[in-house]
């Protein structure tokens, strides 16, 4: 069986991106009644007008201006990761790079979402690290019940309760976030505002269907999703990218050359921004990392090779027909992300790590139809973040923190080697399974920066 999908399917997918047809794909087919009250009310699972309202409230939280405010905290977490790797280099030992970056993402989320200092509140940090896997990585039994609920929606509430294995963990998250939110109600936290406070600014009582602000319950639901969705996704990409750079020294050298060329070596005048004992490390911010075009291309190519989620779904709200394919109301549309990103017709030599695919000149050729000169598949060729109105709302934040920490690491550390083959878990559309084995990478201190 050919790995290339039927061109007509691509035409269907291309047509679905036409704005007039977007309403047909606005609904999530994931059974909301399968989820508990907290996660059933988060952006990922709500539908229709309710989803549109939540998306409108939350989108401004991820603007460039909001992300710029978080640079100091992301720098601090980045420097902590650098120090961990420098220590491993000094001891000349391999390091489980996935665990290093998992600790980084937890530190970032705790500090930017809740203003919890991971170093000053180690008890809370360890509790979060304990509970994260239980929420993100459902058991095989719960996965089977989840898929079964998709086939028999009327059984969804029962199947959800039967397979609920994380009540203790869920209560921990909800209680922790609720306590912080309640303490802050009506209290000014100063000039810096974390993401929880950004969301809380929109909070009000649930008085009408047309309300444009979050209720307290909605606030807790979105904050819980924020923590869980942003943890293993970014650490997964960082770990795999580190492995690939260790295997492709020429690309790693090109990245370091880009860092030297684009980033200033001036340290900030404000000593409070030097948040680490890593010497001569310039302060990074949102604008400085936007210059790193090859870095971004490497991240996107990593996601193409190893998408975090292999399939995502949409559901038709009304019956329609696209390119001769009848789509009845309520039909689930399954988009094979991994298959599309591995299609040799779209990505020649798809098994190779070639970041240049995502550099500007190459993209301009790919994103137009050679026959007509008009827009071709465009963003539909690259789907790890989804596409259309329900794409990943935290995409900009995810790329930002990945670029920040990788830039900090590569200025001080070289990924020397990665013995053995990369053994990744099978990506799925619900939850992120654990690595079957740690990704071990050998590092050495860099002297040439």
pLDDT of 371 reads 32
pLDDT digits over 253-299, tens only?
999 999 999 886 544 444 444 444 455 455 788 898 999 999 999 99
pLDDT grade, residue 141 (50/70/90)?
Answer: confident
Beta strands 325-327 and 320-322 are: antiparallel
Query: Would you say the C-alpha torsion 211, 213, 217, 221 has a positive or negative sign?
Result: positive
Flag whether 337 is in a domain.
no
Degrees (nearest 5) of the Cα angle 148, 149, 150? 90
What is the mean pLDDT of the segment spanning 57-78?
91
Taking 50 as the threshold, does the pLDDT of residue 71 lie above it? yes
Taking 50 as the threshold, does the pLDDT of residue 16 lie above it? no
pLDDT of 258 reads 95
CB proximity list for 233: less than 8 A, separation 6 or greater: 308, 398, 432
pLDDT of 160 reads 74
Which three-class secondary structure state does DSSP give residue 334?
A: strand
Instruction: Domain count for the chain, please give it.
Output: 1
CA distance readout (Å), 360 to 7, 241, 364: 25, 20, 6
What is the mean pLDDT of the segment spanning 380-392?
81
Rounded Cα gap, residues 323 and 13, in angstroms: 10
pLDDT grade, residue 107 (50/70/90)?
Answer: very high
Flag whether 403 is in a domain.
yes
pLDDT: is 129 or 91 the higher one? 91
Flag whether 16 is in a domain.
no
Flag whether 374 is in a domain.
no
Alpha helices, H only, 45-96: 48-58, 64-68, 71-90
Flag whether 214 is in a domain.
yes
User: By mean pLDDT, which of 3-12, 241-250, 342-351 is the weakest?
Assistant: 3-12
CB proximity list for 396: less than 8 A, separation 6 or greater: 62, 64, 67
pLDDT grade, residue 187 (50/70/90)?
Answer: low
pLDDT: is 143 or 81 the higher one? 81
pLDDT of 22 reads 37
**At 40, phi and psi to the nearest 5?**
-65, -20
Flag whether 82 is in a domain.
yes
Taking 90 as the threshold, does the pLDDT of residue 97 lie above it? yes
Flag whether 217 is in a domain.
yes
What is the mean pLDDT of the segment spanning 425-444?
68
pLDDT: is 160 or 447 the higher one? 447
Taking 50 as the threshold, does the pLDDT of residue 102 lie above it? yes
Rounded Cα gap, residues 201 and 183, in angstroms: 14
Residue 411: exposed, middle, or buried by beta-carbon count in 10 A (0-12, 13-18, 19+)?
A: buried
Catalogue the E-assigned strands of 351-424: 413-417
pLDDT of 311 reads 77
pLDDT of 247 reads 94
pLDDT, mean over the chain: 76
CB proximity list for 429: less than 8 A, separation 6 or greater: 309, 310, 311, 312, 313
Flag whether 46 is in a domain.
yes
pLDDT grade, residue 81 (50/70/90)?
Answer: very high
392 in a labelled binding site? yes
Rounded Cα gap, residues 195 and 111, in angstroms: 9
User: Could you give the percent of the chain with pLDDT greater than 70?
Assistant: 71
Rounded Cα gap, residues 236 and 233, in angstroms: 5
pLDDT digits over 22-31, tens only?
343 444 555 6
What is the mean pLDDT of the segment spanning 49-57?
87
pLDDT of 242 reads 96
Q: Are 404 and 75 in contact (CB under 8 A)?
A: yes
pLDDT of 152 reads 73
Beta-carbon neighbour count of residue 53 at 10 Å? 18
User: By mean pLDDT, which of 96-110, 173-187, 423-437 is the weakest?
Assistant: 423-437
pLDDT: is 178 or 374 the higher one? 178
Domain that holds residue 53: 31-309+384-445
pLDDT grade, residue 435 (50/70/90)?
Answer: low
Q: What is the CATH number of the domain that holds 115?
A: 1.10.630.10
pLDDT of 383 reads 82
Q: To 10 degrees, what angle do helices 71-90 and 395-412 make?
A: 40
């Amino acid at each position: 069986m050919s790995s290339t999908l039927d061109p007509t399917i691509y035409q269907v997918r291309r047509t679905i991106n036409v704005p007039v047809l977007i309403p047909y794909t606005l609904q999530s087919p994931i059974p909301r009644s399968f989820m508990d009250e907290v996660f059933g009310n988060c952006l990922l699972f709500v539908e229709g007008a309710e989803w549109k309202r939540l998306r409108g409230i939350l989108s401004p939280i991820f603007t460039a201006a909001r992300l710029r405010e978080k640079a100091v905290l992301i720098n601090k977490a980045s420097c902590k990761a650098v120090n961990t790797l420098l220590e491993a280099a000094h001891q000349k030992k391999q390091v489980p790079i996935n665990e290093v970056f998992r600790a980084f993402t937890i530190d970032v989320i705790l500090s930017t979402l809740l203003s919890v200092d991971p170093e000053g509140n180690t008890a809370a940090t360890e509790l979060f690290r304990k509970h994260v896997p239980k929420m993100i990585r459902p058991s095989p039994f719960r996965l089977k019940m989840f898929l079964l609920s998709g086939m028999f929606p009327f059984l969804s509430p029962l199947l959800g309760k039967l397979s609920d294995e994380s009540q203790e963990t869920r209560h921990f998250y909800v209680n922790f976030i609720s306590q912080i939110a309640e303490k802050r109600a009506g209290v000014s936290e100063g000039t810096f505002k974390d993401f929880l406070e950004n969301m809380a600014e929109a909070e009000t009582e649930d008085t009408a269907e047309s309300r444009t602000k979050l209720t307290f319950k909605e606030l807790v639901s979105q904050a819980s999703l924020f923590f869980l969705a942003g943890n293993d996704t970014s650490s997964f990409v960082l770990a795999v990218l580190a492995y690939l750079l260790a295997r492709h020294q020429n690309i790693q050298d090109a990245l370091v050359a880009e860092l030297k060329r684009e980033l200033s070596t001036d340290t900030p005048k404000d000593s409070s921004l030097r948040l680490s004992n890593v010497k001569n490390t310039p302060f990074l911010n949102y604008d400085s990392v936007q210059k790193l075009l090859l870095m971004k291309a490497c991240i996107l190519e990593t996601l193409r090779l190893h998408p975090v989620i292999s399939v995502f779904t949409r559901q038709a709200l009304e019956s329609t027909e696209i390119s001769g394919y009848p789509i009845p109301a309520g039909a689930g549309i399954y988009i094979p992300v991994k298959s599309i990103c591995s299609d040799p017709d779209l990505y020649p030599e798809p098994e190779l790590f070639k970041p240049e695919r995502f550099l500007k000149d190459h993209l301009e050729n790919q994103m137009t139809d050679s026959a007509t000169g008009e827009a071709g598949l465009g963003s539909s060729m690259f789907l790890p973040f989804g596409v259309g109105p329900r794409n990943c709302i935290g995409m900009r934040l995810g790329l930002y923190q990945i670029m920040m920490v990788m830039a900090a690491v590569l200025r001080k550390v070289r990924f020397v080697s990665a013995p053995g083959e990369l053994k990744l878990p099978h990506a799925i559309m619900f939850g992120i399974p654990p690595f079957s084995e740690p990704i071990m990478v050998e590092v050495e201190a860099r002297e040439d920066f």
